[in-house]
């Protein structure tokens, strides 16, 4: 954890969003940001003389400072003096915390609690820092009356990891797939695939909570998604817009949770989102237009980007930049406005409200063009689904073919994955890597392993030209499977490869099943159940429509744009009046 003036800021994230504050509170935050900016520029240290005396009481020089800044801001001198005193007290508090930590090793942590508990939002907790995340969570639960398992802790915009998470191996999970912007499956390098799939899974989960306005629960999911996206290479992130959209979603959570202390991180994330959109869509969206034929739907993302940039600038005291971004957002809002009667017309044609909104925005509000666009898109997706279904059918048929040759389902899946679905190549891989044949998916109690091969099977291999002793050894290794034994001996010049699991004493027998082996099989089954559970949890939150993230009624955005533009106008009016 990073030191912040002797005090560590954390959040126990399990709250509902607070109600909107009025213009007075927003303007106070704006003035505080401007004063902080002035103090930094003038290198004023409020915790030192002449602004603070030896007893840590306010000095007389603070009044002169308030007069100077009130003239500069054209605001009431008394109000400015109160705000500067608040800033000074916080600085003294941080200094006291630092001093206490140096002498006792005890740090003071600010814990922001859920409003629904009807307690003070910000609470102080004293603790040593040489403790585990789990111990910190227990301490917070005990002190503030939480259920420990329902607490998620965010420190410096990062979720505190308490234990290893259950993850899904995408290589062996064919029912989870990654598609491009047209809906077609895309191949991702194995080193990137798992991280990207986990990132997208957590992002969808977070977005599901965003839709329900459960911002405090959404934020940890989104931060987890950010962590996994960071494990992907830069080239990959520049080809998909998911990473940029995630940055917007995280900053939206900061805003709705009123986490104004995250403004520095918000600025970085918004700049990153803008850069990613440019890399993914092209300088003037030309790449996006080339792929999808239009960029009308994606304007929703830029509206939110400009809105959040406007809010961030307002709370940072940059009123001119705030006004500029908010006006850009308002202009996009006008362009994206949808006539409800046009939506009704499309609903009567059998389309959904979501399809209607997306279609109208893609076609600049033209109902006929939107109907054609939606119909064409439905046909394209139906064709893609048929192609994907056929691809899966061929894959299952290839697995059955390899199973008929004597290989296990697990071994067949691995080989086909490595061979990109090519059956002949998969067979070559299996023949060249006999250790893969031990990827067994059968029950060891019901498999057909033989203690001693039948003479009939040995004779079959001898008839094919193999040595009798080698034939017997091969049949023991492959549990009496003549096909596998013959293929292996033929592929290896009549002998067994040295890397097969043979014991020195009983080299003709495959590894015996021990209680620990059975336990391992049971554990594998449990892992499979956990994997299926994890996948189902992700699947629950994956929306039906592939462009769900572009669909918005923009009602919230419209309200917030008007609200913050009124704050800017009020500031201008107050300045003119003064």
Cα separation, 371 vs 367, in Å, equals 6
Which tens digit of pLDDT belongs to each residue from 298-349?
A: 889 999 999 999 999 998 888 889 999 999 999 999 999 999 999 999 999 9
The pLDDT value recorded for residue 360 is 92
Could you write out the three-class secondary structure of 235-298? HHHCCCCHHHHHHHHHHHHHHHCCCHHHHHHHHHHHHHHHHHHHHHHCCCCHHHHHHHCCCCCC
- Does the predicted TM-score (pTM) go above 0.85? no
Could you write out the three-class secondary structure of 493-534? CCCCCCCCCCCCCCCCCCCCCCHHHHHHHHHHHHHHHHHHHH
Burial of 44-65, coded b for 16+ CB within 10 Å and e otherwise, reads bebbeeebbeeeeebbeebeeb
* For residues 235-258, average pLDDT: 88
The pLDDT value recorded for residue 521 is 40
Q: How many CB atoms lie within 10 A of CB 366?
A: 14
* For residues 383-397, average pLDDT: 87
Cα separation, 530 vs 166, in Å, equals 8
The pLDDT value recorded for residue 145 is 76
The pLDDT value recorded for residue 509 is 38
Residue 155 phi, psi (nearest 5) = -125, 125
Nearest C-alpha neighbor of 527 from the set 169, 93, 208, 233: 169
Q: How is residue 445 written in tokens?
A: 């109690």
Residue 45 phi, psi (nearest 5) = -110, 95
Which tens digit of pLDDT belongs to each residue from 254-287?
A: 998 888 778 788 999 999 999 998 888 877 777 7
Nearest C-alpha neighbor of 27 from the set 578, 572, 577: 572
Helices (H), 105-132: none
The pLDDT value recorded for residue 443 is 44
* For residues 351-377, average pLDDT: 92
Task: Order across the sheet with 106-112: list the strands.
Answer: 122-128, 106-112, 7-12, 153-155, 158-159
Summary mean pLDDT of the chain: 77
Distances (CA, A) of 180 to 186, 241, 269, 322, 544: 6, 10, 23, 35, 15
The pLDDT value recorded for residue 502 is 53
Contact 225, 253 (CB under 8 A): no
């Amino acid at each position: 954890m990073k030191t912040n003036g002797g005090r560590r800021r954390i959040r126990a994230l399990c709250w509902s969003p607070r109600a909107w504050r009025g213009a007075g509170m927003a303007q106070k935050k704006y003035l505080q940001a401007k004063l902080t900016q002035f103090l930094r520029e003038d290198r004023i240290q409020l915790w030192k003389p002449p602004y603070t005396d030896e007893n840590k009481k306010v000095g007389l020089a603070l009044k002169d400072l308030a007069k100077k800044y009130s003239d500069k801001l054209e605001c009431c001198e008394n109000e400015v003096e109160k705000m500067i005193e608040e800033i000074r007290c916080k600085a003294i508090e941080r200094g006291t915390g630092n001093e206490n930590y140096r002498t006792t090793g005890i740090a003071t942590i600010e814990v922001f609690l859920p409003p629904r508990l009807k307690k003070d939002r910000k609470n102080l907790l004293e603790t040593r820092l040489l403790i585990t995340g789990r111990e910190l969570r227990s301490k917070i639960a005990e002190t503030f009356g939480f259920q420990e398992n329902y607490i998620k802790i965010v420190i410096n915009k990062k979720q505190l990891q308490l234990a290893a998470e259950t993850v899904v191996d995408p290589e062996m999970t064919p029912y989870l797939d990654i598609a491009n912007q047209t809906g077609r499956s895309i191949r991702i390098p194995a080193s990137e695939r798992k991280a990207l799939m986990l990132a997208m899974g957590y992002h969808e989960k977070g977005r599901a909570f965003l839709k329900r306005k459960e911002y405090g629960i959404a934020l940890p999911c989104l931060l987890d998604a950010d962590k996994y996206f960071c494990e992907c290479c830069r080239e990959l992130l520049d080809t998909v817009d998911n990473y940029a959209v995630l940055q917007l979603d995280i900053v939206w959570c900061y805003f709705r949770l009123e986490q104004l202390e995250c403004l520095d991180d918000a600025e970085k994330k918004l700049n990153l989102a803008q850069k990613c959109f440019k890399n993914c869509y092209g300088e003037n969206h030309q790449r996006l237009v080339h792929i999808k034929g239009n960029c009308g739907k994606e304007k929703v993302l830029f509206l939110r980007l400009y809105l959040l940039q406007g809010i961030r600038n307002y709370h940072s005291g940059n009123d001119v930049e705030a006004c500029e971004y908010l006006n850009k957002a308002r202009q996009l809002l006008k362009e994206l406005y949808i006539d409800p009667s046009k939506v009704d017309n499309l609903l009567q044609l059998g389309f959904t409200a979501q399809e209607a909104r997306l279609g109208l925005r893609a076609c600049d509000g033209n109902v006929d063009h939107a109907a054609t666009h939606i119909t064409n898109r439905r046909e394209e997706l139906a064709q893609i689904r048929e192609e994907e279904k056929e691809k899966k059918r061929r894959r299952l048929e290839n697995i059955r073919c390899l199973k008929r040759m004597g290989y296990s389902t697990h071994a067949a899946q691995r080989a086909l994955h490595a061979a990109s679905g090519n059956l002949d190549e998969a067979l070559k891989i299996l023949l060249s890597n006999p250790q893969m044949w031990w990827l067994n998916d059968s029950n060891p109690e019901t498999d057909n392993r033989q203690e001693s091969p039948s003479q009939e099977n040995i004779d079959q291999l001898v008839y094919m030209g193999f040595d009798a002793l080698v034939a017997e050894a091969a049949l023991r290794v492959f549990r009496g499977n003549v096909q596998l034994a013959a293929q292996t001996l033929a592929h290896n010049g009549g002998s067994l490869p040295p890397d097969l699991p043979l014991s020195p004493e009983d080299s003709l027998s495959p590894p015996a099943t021990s209680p620990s082996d059975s336990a391992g099989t049971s554990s594998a089954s449990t892992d499979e159940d956990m994997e299926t559970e994890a996948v189902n949890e992700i699947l629950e939150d994956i929306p039906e429509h592939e462009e769900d993230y572009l669909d918005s009624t923009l009602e919230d955005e419209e309200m917030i744009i008007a609200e913050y533009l009124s704050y800017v106008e009020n500031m201008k009016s107050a300045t003119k009046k003064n």
